[in-house]
């Protein structure tokens, strides 16, 4: 089953937050409500959402200050932020975008408008798509047909292993840390533990069979796909 996109609503007015949450739930999202920046920060520390809806006027730290902080933080910088502003606050909108918000929406807004903006920011931040083909010696990955072969033999890979191999082949001979692989392969708004990478690398090696030795572990640094030392 597909995971519902998680939306963090940072809004001090409970009635507005509740209305947004109900509409999001009806449209296939999983909303979480935070009434101020502090609660929102705790939520972000626990689970990264796919999108943040951030109210401009909040008690304590303003929406703009929070947007700036989250953009400056390596963990949250990839999460799209949609600012909620009051009607006619033109300078606010500019400041919001300057602070790192991806877009803004003016209250009151329709559910359709909100959904359209959210889908747009989600699309813009989607991880690298796999559509092309890459070849490394006798290892061939075809993005269009989702097929991988080695020495003419077709190999069976799961979807994550496929994306992982595609990324490693596109950036071969370079060492990638687990964090970098999470960003590039899983997407920067998805929170997954780093050891998940190890699990998928192990599966990838197994799926590759004889070519599995091309996936090297670089102690203390991460992983590398290399043609060296392997007869390809
Ligand atoms: Ca408010």
Q: Is residue 217 part of a domain?
A: yes
| DSSP characters over 78-147 | TS-EEEEEETT-HHHHHHHHHTT-SEEEEES--HHHHHHHHHHHHHHTPPPP--SEEEETTEEEETTTTE
Express each pLDDT in 3-16 by its tens digit.
788 999 999 999 99
- 213 in the same domain as 107: no
pLDDT digits (tens, 9 = 90+) for 132-190: 789 998 999 998 788 999 999 999 988 788 989 999 999 999 999 998 888 788 765 45
8-56 pLDDT, tens digit each:
999 999 999 999 999 999 999 999 999 999 999 999 999 999 999 999 9
Please tell me the distance between residue 96's alpha carbon and the centre of ligand 1 in angstroms.
14
125 has a pLDDT exceeding 90: no
**Residue 1 resides in a domain:** no
Single residue among 122, 146, 168 that ends a domain in this structure: 122
Overall domain count for the chain:
2
For residue 39, the model assigns a pLDDT of 96
pLDDT for position 189: 45
Query: CA-to-CA distance for 143 and 178, rounded, in angstroms?
Result: 23
Higher-confidence position of 198 and 190: 198
Residues 62 and 89 in one domain: yes
Q: What is the CATH number of the domain that holds 99?
A: 3.40.50.2300
**58 alpha carbon – ligand 1 mean position (Å):** 5
pLDDT tens readout for residues 210-224: 999 999 999 999 999
- More confident call, 93 vs 200: 200
Nearest to 164 by CA among 89, 108, 111, 214: 214
Q: Give distance in angstroms: CA of 8 to centre of ligand 1.
A: 15
The CA 49 to ligand 1 mean position distance, Å, reads 20
Domain of 179, CATH number, reads 1.10.10.10
Residue 91 lies in a domain: yes
pLDDT, position 173: 93
Chosen domain end from 75, 90, 122? 122
Give yes or no: residues 113 and 205 share one domain: no
For residues 183 and 192, what is the distance between their CA atoms, to the nearest angstrom?
10
Calculate what percentage of the chain has a pLDDT beyond 90. 50
How many angstroms separate the alpha carbon of residue 57 from the centre of ligand 1? 4
Task: Phi first, then psi: give them for residue 54, nearest 5 degrees.
Answer: -120, 115
Same domain, 105 and 11: yes
Q: Is 127 a member of any domain?
A: no
Burial class (CB in 10 A: 0-12, 13-18, 19+), 24: buried
Host domain of residue 109? 6-122
Both 31 and 91 in one domain: the answer is yes
Q: Name the pTM for this structure.
A: 0.56
Amino acid 192: pLDDT:
64
């Amino acid at each position: 089953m597909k995971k519902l996109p998680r939306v963090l609503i940072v809004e001090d007015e409970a009635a507005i937050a509740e209305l947004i949450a109900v509409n999001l739930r009806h449209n296939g999202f999983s909303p979480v409500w935070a009434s101020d920046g502090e609660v929102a920060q705790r939520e972000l520390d626990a689970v990264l959402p796919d999108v943040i809806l951030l109210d401009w006027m909040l008690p304590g730290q303003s929406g703009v200050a929070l947007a700036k902080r989250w953009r400056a933080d390596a963990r949250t910088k990839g999460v799209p932020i949609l600012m909620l502003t009051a009607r006619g606050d033109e300078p606010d909108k500019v400041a919001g975008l300057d602070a790192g918000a991806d877009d803004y929406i003016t209250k009151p807004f329709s559910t359709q408008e909100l959904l359209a903006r959210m889908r747009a920011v989600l699309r813009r931040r989607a991880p690298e798509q796999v559509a092309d083909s890459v070849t490394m010696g006798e290892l061939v990955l075809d993005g269009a047909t989702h097929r991988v072969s080695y020495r003419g033999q077709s190999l069976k890979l799961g979807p994550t292993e496929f994306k992982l191999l595609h990324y490693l082949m596109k950036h071969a001979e370079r060492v990638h840390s687990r964090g970098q692989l999470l960003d590039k392969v899983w997407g920067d708004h998805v929170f997954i533990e780093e050891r998940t990478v190890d699990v998928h690398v192990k599966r990838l090696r197994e799926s590759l069979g004889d070519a599995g030795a091309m996936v090297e572990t670089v102690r203390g640094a991460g992983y590398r796909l290399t043609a060296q030392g392997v007869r390809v």
